[in-house]
Structure 1
Amino acid sequence: MIDKKKLSERDICTKFITPAIEKAGWNKLTQLMEEVTFTDGRIYVRGKLTARGARKRADYILYYKPNIPIAIVEAKDNNHTVSAGIQQALEYARILDIPCVFSSNGDGFLFHDRTATDGGIETEVDLDSFPSPQVLWEKYKKYKGITTPEVEKIASQDYFFDGSGRRPRYYQQIAVNRAVEAIAKGQNRILLVMATGTGKTYTAFQIIHRLWKSGAKKRILFLADRNALIDQTRRGDFKNFKDKMTVVKHRMIDKSYEVYLALYQGLSGSDEEANAYKQFSREFFDLIVVDECHRGSAKEDSAWREILTYFGKATQIGLTATPKETEEVSNSEYFGDPIYTYSLKQGIADGFLAPYRVVRVNLNIDAEGYRPEFGKKDKNGVEIEDRIYNRKDFDRTLVIDERTETVARKLTEFLGGYDRFAKTIVFCTDIDHADRMRRTISNLNADLVAKNSKYVMQITGDNDEGKRELDNFINPEEVYPVIATTSELMTTGVDAQTCKVIVLDAEIKSMTKFKQIVGRGTRINEEFGKLYFTILDFRNVTDLFADKEFDGDPIRVKPVSPDIDLGDIIEEEELDDSPIIDEESGEEIVVEKPSAPYPLPPVSVENTSEPRRKIYINGVDVSVLISRELYFDNSGKPITTSLKDHSKEIIRGQYASLNDFLGRWKSTAKKEAIIKEMEEQGVLVDALLDAVNREVDLFDLICHVAFDQPPLTRKERANNVKKRSYFAKYGEQSRRVLEALLDKYADEGITNIESMEVLKVKPLTSYGSPIEIIKGFGSKAKYLEAVKELESELYSTGA
């Protein structure tokens, strides 16, 4: 007779839970998946080092068909009750959008039915009565509102698998399933909001493929407004449509294909004859997918909206990372509220997106303003207007050479202390600013530019050479270009997997544009060491991180009224700062906009196309007032209190008293576990050590910050142990090893001496191999006991 109480959780799964599920008819190869990890674990940045947090893992996920998860089972050992895992299972079910939730300890199951409406939401099920796949599929259909065989056929259509083993991530599964199910039930306007870098195009491909294979949609149009987006789509997952797909490049259109990729500009024009989309009948397309739908087609009176209106009978899906919701422009008014949102914050928390560090650099003239001395003339000898110029003027109406050089020098210094070959995008005010920034950075990095002139390049809409290098910049295999200076061209549609530094030297007030720019750095590429990125902010743009709109759900604010008078809406260029795209080339047209704080003289209609005259000066004292790193809490919001106060609040929330903490410290075998716990709670351990004292360890740091105890440095603690006769009971060799470990602690901290790897480095290697050192103590267990005792001695003086 097996004593269940002595079995591990894994043994309970193997001997009781798995057999019970299989017995109910679940196929172990295709439907019953054990120990399913569905997040990658948040990336924590420690100086230049990174570490992964814990991944979320479900003990079992049950699938009716591949990637249609319908049940989750959380297992515990038999020392727990049958219901002990239900709350964790429910949390995972909420994240994964799963209706049927089970908990088990090997004696039976507790079934939580999220579809129940009659009061029987939780029931116990014995091991011989686990529900079959068909039973739980019926509950899934109820949960999703799938009520007819026609809807079921479409909703249960298999995903596309290419044999590579790639499968949708959990949030992509949810987005695909919700979109397909909504369309199968007759919904014709769909909005999906997914952060940059989370695979919107792959998600769109899976939606299209399932609808296409099921026969629900036979002719599909994928619309974008940039060549780069179309090219990436064609070369990426959409290549699997093979000869069924075409890219619309010419005005004469072949109507024999089933999947069409097109630029808005390739289908529409300024006159009726150029409107190629009208070569199709209004009913030609069953499905239209609009990439980056926050851009041109978001406006009610946009010429590009006419295409969507023309094909109004087709189902239309809008994809965006940054939906526009203002009183004048609304994605949700057209597409409806998002059926699924996966935010930047969630992507970072799950470990699918790179976290960011923010370094704010304040310049003296930015903070104080610049007033020219009496009679100051520009480079053309024209006297400058006597007024105070501020940050909004710099590089837009007033160009100060020394300011450009100071920004470029600060970037150069940063890369010199970090990585001079870290892919970097510098966002400038306009094309002129990007050109000047390129020249200045080149001069400050003459040694590297001499080796390869493409070390820094201007990549803007007017620069053909730079645009040709865009693919090389975003290619992880290519070293050059390293630094790209730009204005608008690289804000969207640039899949820069290895971009490690983003420089903000432009006034950015649009939340949409800010999110797009931040998105250039959020992709992870572990193979090339890209796990986080740094934002160097020279214009206080990162104040937008504190805005409640930054990572919240989009809220519809445009009034939905048939009586809107478009004459009351302000000019289009004031509403939308998205780049304007040339109809033929598909490239950006940069339009100067007036600087808000100062009125301009009236401009005649004939001269409205003339660029504003800039003033160029030099001989101005420009210096860095302050450079500091901003810190963010676990929800991604900037920490506005002091780092010590913020940390104290978190620690005191975890440990009610000093004695609580001391008890936890003594009972934890490896102190690294406490560091990990602290970081997962949001304590920035490394930053706090920098702020308090690098010479103390975590024990003293917590005691000092949270409980106001006077801290001892690691060296002081080590010396206190040496003064006592603690080592007398050991032989000479073992005594030397422990003294060396004590010195290691004083230099590097407690986590180093807890690792067996410490025996492989100097000075420990001078006492023999790890095996020989351990033998000196009698056994591995006795060596570990000696290390544990050494730790007790270190902290015996307490706090």
Structure 2
Amino acid sequence: MSEASSRNKDVTSRFQDPLEDETCRRFVLPALEGAGWREDQIRAQYPINLGRIRATARRHLQERPLKADYVLSYSDGLPIAVIEAKRTRRDPEDGYEQVKRYARLLDVPFAYTTNGHRILEYDARTGRLAEIQEFPSPQELWSRFRRERELTDDHQAGLASAPLNSTLRNWDGTPKEPRYYQRIAINRTVQAIASGRSRMLLVLATGTGKTLVASQIVAKLWNANWPGGRRPRVLYLADRSILIDQPKDDYFVPMFGEAVHKLGGGDAKTGRNIYLALYQSLDSSGDEESLYKQFPADHFDLIIVDECHRGSAAENSRWRAILEYYSPAVQIGLTATPVLGKDTDTYGYFGEPLYEYTLAQGIEDGFLAPYRVRKVRLNVDMTGWRPDPGQKDLLGREIPDKLYGPREYERVLAIIERTEEAARYLTDFLHRTDRMGKTIVFCASTEHAFRMMKALNNANADLARRYDGKYACRITAADGDPGRELLDEFREEATDVPVIAVTSRLLSTGVDIPTLRNIVLFRVIRSMPEFKQIIGRGTRLFPEAGKFSFDIIDFVDATRLFNDPDFDGPPMRVVRDETDADGNITDSVNEDVPGDEEMVAEPGAEYEEQDGGTLPPFVTDPDEVEEILASPNRFYVDGVQVTQWGSAFYVSDTDAAGGLRLIEYEQFVRGQVIRLNLEPHQLLGQWAHAKSRQELRKLLDESHIVPEDLAEWAGRPDADTIDLLLYLAWEIPLLSRSERARRVAVRHREFLDSFAPQAREVLDRVLDQYAARGSEELEIRALRSDAYSSDFGNVLEIGERFGGGDRLREALDELNSLVYTAS
């Protein structure tokens, strides 16, 4: 070790086994200082992630976050090494796997583990593990880092080590620092540019901050005076106004001020550095007069393409011509959902991803909200609907005699009651959860969205009246400026209304709604990229408003796409509900469902002018495309009896490979209970005693099993938690708490009668409270509540009724035992 560590030898004699933080302060920090590391290059307790959030019915549990003891950075935002410190009496080898994991996550090549006396170094480039005498100096480690990343000349090294921009702030005024995966994306991209690469792809899950990554890439290039000793000229491209305005206002203008300009109106301003533009504004005419051609082909140094799976993704797209015109520029594609199809290949143009951060990783790290899935099937979707011979629709047209199903609904035939029943289910769900929880409903078309909006406002007439018709609103391209104003209000974190946004496709991508709590799928989805984008609307966290998870309500089996390996995980298990003649679920059967191979590229096919006249205008708006594709002879019927056929409840979980999977809640709980390695009688025996019941509750809590979720799944809020567990794990018949209390009163009357009337009165109250509220009422601390104090006094006074506190405890212990033997 260095002299700095030697100076602390006397400390070890007084503190024979210092904790890890003491090892850091007394050994590691002096050793680093002795090696020449400055204070601003050493980051203690470096946060890697936040810890996965486990969603339950009533609350959220967050696992312990990952933190590295120290991260060493050569310059601002460029970590190059990580250190794990162990207690002096532990071997540094004990931290080896841990620090290797940290290094892998942080994308740094050098990892160290130390106990204050010995240092082990792992070099990811060579794969060698060696014991060293002291930490390398910053310059030595930087030289090795440059060799590892092939940053051979000083210009490349200077670009890679350029600082970030520190202007941005969080809502609470703290600096908006990139997360670990954002730093990786930023640094890999800048290092690739330094190495001469001209086409790059970054794949980051929706909600993980692609815009921050893009703006900080520009910041590093800006601070390095790239290229050639001047500020870079940058073009940021997207196909929707919100994808331009939000990055401009929230990121680029605060960071770069007047250097930022939004292109449009045919005016090619050339005095700025950072331009943001819609494809449509650059290529409004499709000829030599197009705005993008008013700039020289080599004008821009860097082009960033947001949502690069759309717009310019198709090889024959007019918008692709913009990228090809600016081919001398470095071009970076950003997306959550790359597309690989017949005519559309994100990888073919931009290359393999420099970095990919998936939805599964985001949820596992606690940066994205986990979700629950409620699959609801309506009877007409399960059995189909066939008209009577000669039956006419609401417009007096005869309906072709055939069996109609989900693929035809709302394209060929619309059943009015089908929409109303879905609105009724959603209304009931919001009554159980939060009527003001922001919700998006995806419908089949703009016309279908209008009928759903109407049905929701009718089902919630009290709130529609209170909020002047803005409880549920249709927000589609067809709604023009009023719709855009409603969208702005819906996105606003501080507004209460609109609560429910009903749309077709407008809100499926590019709209940041952190407070969104529910996503409702009521149209068939065949495109995996679109499905990922839709799910991504709900993944943003908003702790300030208590938003830590979200729910997906699926009426059309769209969540079958969770089955696709492209959705960050292995195939899911889907439940087929078997019912009796009355539509009640009698059994749920797990079955494998093959993935849907059909992919739909976005936007739809483009038009070209040919001999014989001018074709219709170029259509790119998704809602308009959907309406054009919809059958012009859509039939409308009513008077159809539509009911819920069945439903199933799923939770998201991480599989062994680190991917996401959906698992039915019953199966999840059964697996967790079996892992407790207890037989049914042992589990019941532990639950029968207050002290061991608390220990068991803690184990259940660590297994992410919460009584409220159990009760919701079973539809039995009157059942004891232990009975729900026994039923789920071993199918032991359920008892209600009232039944358990009644059996004690009947079968163990002698026990109750053995107490004086004033003590018996307390025990009767305990049983009543247990039946009404749950097992917590069987514990002595429950006697402090108003349910007892108003009639019986405090706990000491209650104890006097039994002849003292000890006898009160004995009575409650025996009562606990009798409650749980009454089976």
State the TM-score bracket (shorter-chain normalisation). 0.7 to 0.9
Match for residue 26 of structure 1? 37
Aligned residue among 665, 675, 680 for 2:700: 675
Instruction: Note if contact 2:80-2:145 (Cα within 8 Å) is conserved in structure 1.
Output: yes
1:67 is aligned to 2:87: no
Match for residue 385 of structure 1? 400
Aligned residue among 105, 124, 137 for 2:131: 124
Give the alignment of 1:547-566 within 5 angstroms: 547-551=564-568
Counterpart amino acid of residue 474 in structure 1: R
In structure 2, what is the Cα distance between the partners aligned to 1:223 and 1:352?
A: 26
- Summarize deviations over 1:765-793 as a string: whole Å, max 9, x none: 789999x99xx9xxxxx99xx99x97999
TM-score, structure 2 length as denominator? Answer: 0.80
In structure 2, what is the Cα distance between the partners aligned to 1:57 and 1:742?
A: 47
Match for residue 590 of structure 1? 624
Cα-Cα RMSD: 4.3
Match for residue 603 of structure 1? none
Shift of 1:593: 7.4
In structure 2, what is the Cα distance between the partners aligned to 1:676 and 1:548?
A: 30
- Tell me: CA distance 1:493–1:745, structure 2 relative to 1, closer, same or farther (3 Å): same
Match for residue 219 of structure 1? 233
Match for residue 756 of structure 2? none
1:41 is aligned to 2:51: yes
Aligned residue among 77, 81, 87 for 1:77: 87
Shift of 1:200: 0.6
Match for residue 311 of structure 2? 296
- Summarize deviations over 1:322-371 as a string: whole Å, max 9, x none: 11122431101100011111111111111111111211111111110100
In structure 2, what is the Cα distance between the partners aligned to 1:7 and 1:754?
A: 40
Instruction: Note if contact 2:446-2:623 (Cα within 8 Å) is conserved in structure 1.
Output: no
1:527 is aligned to 2:552: no
Shift of 1:107: 2.5
- Tell me: CA distance 1:737–1:153, structure 2 relative to 1, closer, same or farther (3 Å): farther
Instruction: Note if contact 2:569-2:661 (Cα within 8 Å) is conserved in structure 1.
Output: no
Match for residue 576 of structure 2? none
Give the alignment of 1:92-111 within 5 angstroms: 92-111=102-121
In structure 2, what is the Cα distance between the partners aligned to 1:793 and 1:366?
A: 48
SS of residue matched to 2:457: helix
Shift of 1:745: 8.4
In structure 1, what is the Cα distance between the partners aligned to 2:776 and 2:71?
A: 36
In structure 2, what is the Cα distance between the partners aligned to 1:589 and 1:101?
A: 52
- Tell me: CA distance 1:458–1:90, structure 2 relative to 1, closer, same or farther (3 Å): same
In structure 2, what is the Cα distance between the partners aligned to 1:75 and 1:792?
A: 51
SS of residue matched to 1:84: helix
Match for residue 246 of structure 2? 232
- Summarize deviations over 1:681-736 as a string: whole Å, max 9, x none: xx67754565677678777877886689999999979999x99xx9xxxxxxxx99
Shift of 1:575: 4.7
Counterpart amino acid of residue 40 in structure 1: L
Aligned residue among 542, 559, 563 for 2:559: 542
Shift of 1:661: 9.6
1:514 is aligned to 2:519: no
Give the alignment of 1:467-478 within 5 angstroms: 467-478=484-495
- Tell me: CA distance 1:124–1:747, structure 2 relative to 1, closer, same or farther (3 Å): farther
1:431 is aligned to 2:465: no
Shift of 1:172: 0.6
Match for residue 587 of structure 2? none
- Summarize deviations over 1:605-636 as a string: whole Å, max 9, x none: xxxxx962211121111111113322333246
- Summarize deviations over 1:550-592 as a string: whole Å, max 9, x none: 1269xxxxxxxxxxxxxxxxxxx98524378999999656124
Shift of 1:175: 0.6
1:287 is aligned to 2:302: yes
Match for residue 601 of structure 1? none
Match for residue 476 of structure 2? 460
- Tell me: CA distance 1:302–1:584, structure 2 relative to 1, closer, same or farther (3 Å): closer
Counterpart amino acid of residue 482 in structure 1: V
- Summarize deviations over 1:263-290 as a string: whole Å, max 9, x none: 1011113441442211111111110000
Instruction: Note if contact 2:522-2:556 (Cα within 8 Å) is conserved in structure 1.
Output: yes
Match for residue 578 of structure 1? 603
Shift of 1:131: 2.0
TM-score, structure 1 length as denominator? Answer: 0.82
Aligned residue among 615, 618, 623 for 2:635: 615
In structure 2, what is the Cα distance between the partners aligned to 1:754 and 1:101?
A: 51
Give the alignment of 1:39-438 within 5 angstroms: 39-116=49-126, 121-126=128-133, 129-162=134-167, 164=169, 165-217=175-227, 218-239=232-253, 240-438=255-453
Counterpart amino acid of residue 24 in structure 1: A
Shift of 1:763: 5.7
Counterpart amino acid of residue 514 in structure 1: F
Shift of 1:471: 0.6
In structure 2, what is the Cα distance between the partners aligned to 1:37 and 1:791?
A: 49
In structure 1, what is the Cα distance between the partners aligned to 2:676 and 2:345?
A: 43
- Summarize deviations over 1:151-185 as a string: whole Å, max 9, x none: 10000000000174220011111110111111111
Shift of 1:752: 9.6
Shift of 1:105: 2.4
In structure 1, what is the Cα distance between the partners aligned to 2:97 and 2:424?
A: 54
Give the unaligned 5+ runs of structure 1: 554-572, 596-609, 727-734, 777-781
SS of residue matched to 2:84: strand
Instruction: Note if contact 1:191-1:336 (Cα within 8 Å) is conserved in structure 2.
Output: yes
1:627 is aligned to 2:647: yes
Shift of 1:209: 1.3
Counterpart amino acid of residue 408 in structure 1: A
Instruction: Note if contact 1:223-1:263 (Cα within 8 Å) is conserved in structure 2.
Output: yes
- Tell me: CA distance 1:791–1:169, structure 2 relative to 1, closer, same or farther (3 Å): farther
In structure 2, what is the Cα distance between the partners aligned to 1:303 and 1:108?
A: 62
SS of residue matched to 2:477: coil
- Tell me: CA distance 1:267–1:91, structure 2 relative to 1, closer, same or farther (3 Å): same
- Tell me: CA distance 1:707–1:473, structure 2 relative to 1, closer, same or farther (3 Å): closer
- Tell me: CA distance 1:34–1:469, structure 2 relative to 1, closer, same or farther (3 Å): same
- Tell me: CA distance 1:649–1:400, structure 2 relative to 1, closer, same or farther (3 Å): closer
SS of residue matched to 2:349: helix
Counterpart amino acid of residue 627 in structure 1: S
Give the unaligned 5+ runs of structure 2: 1-11, 170-174, 571-597, 607-615, 752-759
Shift of 1:222: 0.4
Match for residue 501 of structure 1? 518
Instruction: Note if contact 2:52-2:365 (Cα within 8 Å) is conserved in structure 1.
Output: yes
SS of residue matched to 2:489: helix
- Tell me: CA distance 1:122–1:475, structure 2 relative to 1, closer, same or farther (3 Å): same
SS of residue matched to 2:625: coil
In structure 2, what is the Cα distance between the partners aligned to 1:357 and 1:477?
A: 25
SS of residue matched to 1:236: helix
Instruction: Note if contact 2:724-2:734 (Cα within 8 Å) is conserved in structure 1.
Output: yes
In structure 2, what is the Cα distance between the partners aligned to 1:104 and 1:699?
A: 46
In structure 2, what is the Cα distance between the partners aligned to 1:259 and 1:591?
A: 32
- Summarize deviations over 1:270-321 as a string: whole Å, max 9, x none: 4414422111111111100000000011111100000100111110000001
Counterpart amino acid of residue 123 in structure 1: A
SS of residue matched to 1:312: coil
In structure 2, what is the Cα distance between the partners aligned to 1:163 and 1:191?
A: 25
In structure 2, what is the Cα distance between the partners aligned to 1:528 and 1:441?
A: 24
Shift of 1:438: 1.6
Q: How many residues align?
A: 740
SS of residue matched to 1:63: strand
- Summarize deviations over 1:45-74 as a string: whole Å, max 9, x none: 221322222211222222222221122122
- Summarize deviations over 1:218-254 as a string: whole Å, max 9, x none: 2110001111111111111101211111110121211
